[in-house]
Amino acid sequence: MGQDKVKIAVICHDAGASEILAAYIKEHFSLASWKLYASKGSPFEAIARKNALKTSPVEEITLSDIDALFFGTGWQEKIERDSLLEAKRLHIPSFAFLDHWSAYRERFDYPQKDWEKNLPNFTIVSDKKAQAIAKSYNLPHILLVKNFYLQKQLEALKNEHIPQTKNLLFLSEPTDKVALRTFKDENYWGFTQITAFEEILTHFEKFECTGLHIRLHPSEKNHPYLKVLNKFPHIRSQIYPAAFLPLEKDLIRSKMIIGFDTMALYTASLANKALVSYLPSKNREFLLPLPPSHQLRNLNNLTPIHLRPLELKIDSNGIDFACIEQYIKGFNQ
């Protein structure tokens, strides 16, 4: 490779990893030669475009003359699998970028037979809790890098000057679909977004809010909430897709935020917002790096302390790109 820039192919689909990868690439764009591949209409295609990054159709991916493969992980699609196997055949180092703190092994098809063949050579995480979780599963060669997407979000939040409403913001997630896809049972965790949502409405007065905003997950094309809302006609509500309003604006304008374990809850905590991570069953572990006091199983335990802003600090440690470059260059030596 000499003094030439390393050539890196990037393939991704799901929104979480796409945001992290796109921000990482943009931060280090001049330090490598990047070739991005995305499925038509995928979150990665849209997020790359938002970051002024060009993508090619995933069908055109080639690893000839490539020094490394970066890929995202998630539960929606596994479009990286063929490229990962090809990279291994060609002895090209692969780097899996893990977003969030959940289902790390399941992203590689655990517990299916031979799931280890889907593992990368290097595992990229963005904070110390993720690093500890990955280490507990013995994932290969764990590297901690900075989360430039989260840093960018926090900068945007600081620059938002919009009045706060008196609304509760519910961050929806397609819990039933994730459970069905991963465990073949939509009620695997003992609850779905529908049953949890009804509990939120039942305890709505405890939040001391005058209205309810329901922000759909980027992967949710349809939603199941109207039938439940009809049982609570006194609660003023609005349902909208994630594209309706930038997340930063939605967080800042909300009096309080509730969700399951979406990354947006962690972002809200770093922006000093009042929030609750709500998992109404012990079948699902709390994974967000939030204080245990703000992780509730039962909304009967909601108290005035939960209505006060949290004050957490971002984990800003991580190796620089020069270290990643050395791992790439030294892989076959």
**Digits of tens for pLDDT over the chain (333 positions)?**
446 899 999 999 998 899 999 999 999 999 999 999 999 999 999 999 999 999 999 999 999 999 999 999 976 678 899 999 999 999 999 999 999 898 899 999 998 999 999 999 999 999 999 999 999 999 999 999 999 999 998 888 888 888 999 999 999 999 999 899 888 999 999 999 999 999 999 999 999 999 999 999 988 888 889 999 999 999 999 999 998 998 989 999 999 999 999 989 999 999 999 999 999 999 999 999 999 999 999 999 999 999 999 988 887 789 999 999 999 999 987
Q: What angle do CA 59, 61, 65 make, to 5 degrees?
A: 160
Residue 328: phi, psi to the nearest 5? -65, -50
Residue 1 is predicted with a pLDDT of 44
Residue with tokens 């280890």: 116
Per-residue DSSP letter, 309: P
User: Domain residue spans in the chain?
Assistant: 6-146+316-329, 153-307
Handedness of CA 46, 51, 56, 59 (dihedral sign): negative
Both tokens of 163, joined, read 């009045």
Q: How far, in Å, CA of 229 to CA of 236, rounded?
A: 9
Q: Do domains 6-146+316-329 and 153-307 have the same CATH topology?
A: yes
pLDDT for the residue numbered 315: 78
Nearest-angstrom CA–CA distance, 250 and 169: 8
What is the Cα gyration radius of the chain?
A: 21
* Euclidean distance between CA atoms 186 and 70, whole angstroms: 31
Per-residue pLDDT, 218: 83
The whole-angstrom separation of Cα 240 and Cα 302 is 26
Structure tokens at 99: 């977003």
**Residue 94, beta-bridge partner list:** 69
Question: For residue 2, what pLDDT is reported?
Answer: 47
- The burial class, CB within 10 Å (0-12 / 13-18 / 19+), for 305 is exposed
Prior bond of 111 cis (ω within 30°): yes
Amino acid identity of 249? Answer: K
- Asked if 74 contacts 16 with a C-beta cutoff of 8 angstroms, the reply is yes
Q: Which residue has the tokens 């939120």?
A: 200
The one-letter amino acid at 143: L
CA distance 317 to 125: 11
Q: What is the pTM of this model?
A: 0.84
| Four-point Cα dihedral 117, 99, 221, 45, nearest 10 | -80
Give me the pLDDT at residue 160, please: 82
* CATH code of the region 153-307: 3.40.50
**What is the distance of C-alpha 42 from the center of its chain?**
15
CATH number belonging to the domain at 6-146+316-329, selected among 3.40.50.2000, 3.30.420.40, 3.30.390.50, 3.90.650.10: 3.40.50.2000
Residue pair 44/72 in contact by the 8 Å Cβ criterion: yes
pLDDT number for residue 304 = 95
Contact criterion met (CB below 8 Å) for 180 and 186: yes
Give the whole-angstrom CA distance, residue 244 versus residue 176.
23
